[in-house]
């Protein structure tokens, strides 16, 4: 039966069908999420094992090779990559793309469990996870205040700001950058310990027994049962200093008689700077399947309310991966509208027929809009970037160089704001991981002090650096003034 002829003879059913398809397409279009990259589920599995104090040679022979030999027998493996460093081993197993991710995860767990008895007894339980390509940071902010020190700001970020922003739909994690952590230090006097016949291990074991909160059973009270808990925790450093320790000969001594107790901060392993000034920063990561634009709008709305409630805090946006996504999506929609208008104009110019032009003008949206319903079922909108499914590599649009980061440009390039080009400068000549580049003039600089650079800053001049981001090398630099 000729569908066109039947539709002409029966216009009402055909009209209702396209009307319903158009409504479904419009609804689907409004519900689809806008993301820069799709949430891929690639069959890459990592095995992380740690043995504190072990040398790389020992880990390679006793841990890495044992696990690698067990993993090599699995089906569908494409590559096995091992990274050995002091006290830790990370093995990444890349399966072929057609391998089911959950099946690959189960296979790796079984392979590691099979050789667990052959690994060192002191080795911590290996952690097996699949590689998540989603959940990267989309926004970063810095927090500073004239009325709060670094410890207070760090706790405020981890406690108050994290609770506030995690209530936003689509926010997956809040990661602090820089700042300090509170630490109570017990500095033992070796001469006094030797005089008493005690050791640091004896003191450590007794201190570990102090911080305990456990179930203490139950009690019958007035015909009802009430649970009991055994509380043996200290609330302050002063209480810790008054703690009495038992010696091996039966004597008892207070902790402050053999040690100095300091309520201070831990040695910093990372630092964040904004325009050369030390600050505490935090990154906002979206959850899997969330829209980057919705997350960005929700976070900015919450932070606007926080600024109004706490005027003593200075919260500055350091880098922004949401605005480029919004701009690319808006640009894609403009091109779509322009293409539809030009198609109708071409029909008019060639046919010179008003009826044919109207038919083509009506047919374009009636064919394009219902397709959004199928797109909503298949996945979300991804206005920019491309993804190589074979290697799981994401490349951001408008970037320069292999595995480059947005805003990082080489010689002869300009940044997206139209200003002068910037050059990458590392604060230490070590490999860089998780490079974050922000707006010119306001850049979050996070520097790892324990041998790993977590952030960089943009600077003018003739600096040239070789760095690694996720294991893939790139080079940035340019001519000096």
Which of 216, 250, 265 represents a domain boundary (last residue)? 265
Assign 89 a pLDDT band (cuts: 50, 70, 90).
very high
Q: How far apart are CA 384 and CA 379, in angstroms?
A: 15
In a domain, 403, yes or no: no
379 phi, psi to nearest 5 deg: 165, 180
In a domain, 354, yes or no: no
CATH code, domain carrying 214 = 3.30.2090.10
> Residue 407: what pLDDT?
33
CATH code, domain carrying 48 = 3.30.70.1430
What percent of the chain has a predicted confidence (pLDDT) above 90? 19
In a domain, 156, yes or no: no
Mean of per-residue pLDDT scores for the chain: 75
In a domain, 289, yes or no: no
| Bridge partners of residue 261, in order along the sequence | 186
In a domain, 117, yes or no: yes
In a domain, 227, yes or no: yes
> β-pairing, 88-95 with 457-459?
unpaired
In a domain, 92, yes or no: yes
Q: What is the dihedral of CA 55, 56, 62, 66, to 10 degrees?
A: 160
In a domain, 60, yes or no: yes
Which of 265, 292, 308 represents a domain boundary (last residue)? 265
User: To which H or E segment does residue 224 belong?
Assistant: strand 224-232
CB-based contacts of 119, cutoff 8 Å, min separation 6:
49, 62, 63, 66, 67, 126
pLDDT, tens digit, 9 for 90 and up, residues 218-227: 777 777 888 8
Using the predicted structure, report yes or no on whether residue 422 has a pLDDT greater than 60.
Answer: no
| Bridge partners of residue 466, in order along the sequence | 475
Quote the domain boundaries for residue 237: 183-265
The count of structural domains within the chain is: 2
Average pLDDT over residues 223-244: 76
pTM above 0.75, yes or no: no
pLDDT, tens digit, 9 for 90 and up, residues 286-331: 888 788 888 999 999 999 999 999 988 888 888 888 888 889 889 9
Assign 213 a pLDDT band (cuts: 50, 70, 90).
low
């Amino acid at each position: 039966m000729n569908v066109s002829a039947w539709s002409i003879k029966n216009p009402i059913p055909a009209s209702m069908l396209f009307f319903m398809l158009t409504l479904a397409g419009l609804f689907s279009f409004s519900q689809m999420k806008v993301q820069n990259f799709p949430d891929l589920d690639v069959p890459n599995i990592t095995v992380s094992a740690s043995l504190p104090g072990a040398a790389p040679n020992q880990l390679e022979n006793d841990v890495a090779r044992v696990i690698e030999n067990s993993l090599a027998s699995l089906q569908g493996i494409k590559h096995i990559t091992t990274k050995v460093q002091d006290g830790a081993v990370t093995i990444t197993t890349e399966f072929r793309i057609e391998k089911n991710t959950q099946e690959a995860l189960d296979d790796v767990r079984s392979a590691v469990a099979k050789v667990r008895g052959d690994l060192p007894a002191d080795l911590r339980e290996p952690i097996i996870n699949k590689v998540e390509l989603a959940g990267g940071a989309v926004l970063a902010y810095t927090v500073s205040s004239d009325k709060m020190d670094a410890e207070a700001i760090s706790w405020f970020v981890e406690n108050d700001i994290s609770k506030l922003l995690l209530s936003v739909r689509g926010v997956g994690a809040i990661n602090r950058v820089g700042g300090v952590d509170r630490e109570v230090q017990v500095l033992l006097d070796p001469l006094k310990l030797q005089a008493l016949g005690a050791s640091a291990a004896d003191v450590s074991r007794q201190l570990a027994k102090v911080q305990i909160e456990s179930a203490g059973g139950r009690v019958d009270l007035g015909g009802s049962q009430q649970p009991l808990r055994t509380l043996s925790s200290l609330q302050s450093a002063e209480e810790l200093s008054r703690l009495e320790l038992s010696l091996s000969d039966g004597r008892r001594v207070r902790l402050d008689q053999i040690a100095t107790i300091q309520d201070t901060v831990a040695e910093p392993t990372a630092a964040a700077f904004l325009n050369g000034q030390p600050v505490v920063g935090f990154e906002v990561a979206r959850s899997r399947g969330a829209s980057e634009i919705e997350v960005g709008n929700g976070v900015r709305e919450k932070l606007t309310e926080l600024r109004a409630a706490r005027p003593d805090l200075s919260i500055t946006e350091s880098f922004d991966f949401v605005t480029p996504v919004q701009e690319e999506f808006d640009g894609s929609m403009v091109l779509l509208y322009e293409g539809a208008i030009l198609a109708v104009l071409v029909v008019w110019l060639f046919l010179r027929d008003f009826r044919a032009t109207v038919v083509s003008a009506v047919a374009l949206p009636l064919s394009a809009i219902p397709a959004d319903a199928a797109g909503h079922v298949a996945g979300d909108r991804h206005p920019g970037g491309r993804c190589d499914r074979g290697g799981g590599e994401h490349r951001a649009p408008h970037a320069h160089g292999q595995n480059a980061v947005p805003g990082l440009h080489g010689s002869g390039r300009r940044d997206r704001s139209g200003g002068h080009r910037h050059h990458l400068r590392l604060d230490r000549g070590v490999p860089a991981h998780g490079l974050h580049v922000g707006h010119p003039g306001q850049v979050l600089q996070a520097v790892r002090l324990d041998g790993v650079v977590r952030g960089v800053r943009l600077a003018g001049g003739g600096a040239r650096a070789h760095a690694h981001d996720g294991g893939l090398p790139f080079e940035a630099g340019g001519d000096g003034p």
